[in-house]
Structure 1
């Protein structure tokens, strides 16, 4: 079996910054309440022409430029998203078209909501390991502003838009740990976007918060056990950027005393499947990690699906 290596990380965010104060004129809320409950100070909203595939393409262009790799060298494109309004052609094939990829790459979308990105990383890793691909673009892209209920004060303060991307390539050694993934079917409706509710994002925030409080630390430790990485050796932790009150305690709970913890939710909001690569890309741009440093990725969301792995820094 061939190993996989993370070559580079990229991202794209729309230009429009929406501070909490702007939401005060739309719904009964205020900056103090939002920051106290979820830690968000501002978020980005995409314009009419900044669709899921457009943002995914821009993130792909960023990661390819950072890696110094031509689009024609990529033979697999995976887009994780739950907010694409069009069903077919899928977002991945639209990205391939926009990038001018004439080499007939494999293109697929996956939807496990907010946990989509680590699921997609694992699928690309498995394809590379099986010899079905050598170089893969793995993208998380969301336009949650299209599926937000702006009358619901508990959810409209969370959602945001953006995209992030990994470039993975085959390597003689394995730089990505085995994935730990699963779901809690009995909590499947805790996070949802359903036709019966107008195709708008809704959630039982208390149920999700309780689950993350009681279950997430042990699952994160299980990911590290599978990766054979001690918590104190982690260089960084990048969780799905859902709520600062979930993110900040985790490093302490699992004993990751030396890890940098991504808290991009403060300035980017909740971008669902885009949040992990977006947060990691911005973290590495501010202060790179040593090559080969272990990074814990973990996400959870609708389904209630979850997935995580340890990747080594590029």
Structure 2
């Protein structure tokens, strides 16, 4: 029997990081013109002071291209060096084609493999896991992993439970070949039994059916329909999500540390999903992180950017000098699905 030839196993690591932050800043005072709330209430509940929203003509693809180009430049690579592009997002407004394919083309990475990952706020960490396995297995040399969201397109500005949370942006890393292990084992999972805790308000099929119903009603009596706002806005059961994240995600982060063979004292920076400052504080306490560990708190100025939050926070920590070159970072993403993923990575 003829054996199937495989590529030799090798190590993977991060080679570069990039970010795109939309220029428009929305503070809590502006949010409170949409909903009955206050700056004090929003900060107490979430820690968020401001968030970024992209311009109407700026897309997930546009932001992804910018962040990925910066990550490639930091890695000293060009699009022609890229073998795969993985884009984590839940806000690309097209069912097909994948946003990643368009980004790959714009980067000059054709004919690189390109595909989107839909795992909510855990999507970026899922992408890093897949990219590292592609590199280790010999399928790819360099993989661009992007987390990008334009959640402003799917935020109901009149929903008091979510209007102050969501934001836009993109972050990217390049995962390539390393001389030693630079991406630890990924601890991940999901709980579809709680999928309704974070979801789109309508499916595309429901919207189509509603449009047909509206058209029929208008044909009968134009006064019947006019102010019904149907759109797949994001909605969540905040308290249930908060409790799940606080009590179940710290053990996942600890499992990622254990799997990588490192302790809390070995970590230089902790980069959790930037959903809520209170969740971050609770995780830091449960993990017993020493004061020497920098804790990313990008949520204060950027809001919740779902799949983009971790690479954005990682890029800021490095740019500000809070995450040392070659240091170790603990990443954990969690959210819709309910999905989660965590890993330890060595910084570029």
Alignment TM class, shorter chain as reference: over 0.9
Counterpart position of 1:92: 100
Q: Distance in 2 between matches of 1:276 and 1:311?
A: 12
1:152 to 146, 156, 159: 159
Q: Distance in 2 between matches of 1:278 and 1:262?
A: 10
Q: Which 4+ runs in 1 deviate beyond 6 A?
A: none
- Give secondary structure in 2 for the equivalent of 1:303: coil
Please give the TM-score of this superposition, normalised by the length of structure 2: 0.88
Q: What is the 5 A alignment of 1:17-56? A: 17-56=25-64
Q: Does 1:296 align with 2:330?
A: yes
Q: Which has the larger radius of gyration?
A: 2
Are residues 219 and 255 of structure 1, via their aligned partners in 2, closer, same or farther at CA, if it must alter by over 3 Å? same
Counterpart position of 2:145: 138
Q: How far has the Cα of 1:223 moved from its partner?
A: 1.1
Equivalent pair of 1:20/1:30 in contact (CA under 8 Å): yes
Counterpart position of 2:280: 247
Equivalent pair of 1:233/1:256 in contact (CA under 8 Å): no
Counterpart position of 1:228: 261
Q: Distance in 2 between matches of 1:254 and 1:96?
A: 38
Equivalent pair of 1:248/1:261 in contact (CA under 8 Å): no
Q: Does 1:127 align with 2:127?
A: no
Q: For structure 1, which runs of at least 5 residues remain unmatched after alignment? A: none
Q: Does 1:76 align with 2:84?
A: yes
Q: Distance in 2 between matches of 1:212 and 1:294?
A: 23
Q: Does 1:63 align with 2:71?
A: yes
Equivalent pair of 2:46/2:276 in contact (CA under 8 Å): yes
Residues 31-55 of structure 1 show CA distances to partners (whole Å, capped at 9, x for unaligned) of 1110010010000001112100110
Q: Does 1:166 align with 2:200?
A: no
- Give secondary structure in 1 for the equivalent of 2:258: helix
Q: For structure 2, which runs of at least 5 residues remain unmatched after alignment? A: 1-8, 207-229
Q: What is the 5 A alignment of 1:145-224? A: 145-193=152-200, 194-195=202-203, 198-224=231-257
1:279 to 287, 297, 313: 313
Equivalent pair of 1:235/1:260 in contact (CA under 8 Å): yes
Counterpart position of 2:346: 312
- Give secondary structure in 1 for the equivalent of 2:337: helix
Q: Distance in 2 between matches of 1:34 and 1:107?
A: 38
Q: How far has the Cα of 1:294 moved from its partner?
A: 1.3
- Give secondary structure in 1 for the equivalent of 2:140: coil
Please identify, of 183-192 and 271-280, the stretch whose mean Cα deviation from structure 2 is larger. 183-192
Please give the TM-score of this superposition, normalised by the length of structure 1: 0.97
- Give secondary structure in 2 for the equivalent of 1:209: helix
Equivalent pair of 1:56/1:141 in contact (CA under 8 Å): yes
Equivalent pair of 2:318/2:325 in contact (CA under 8 Å): no
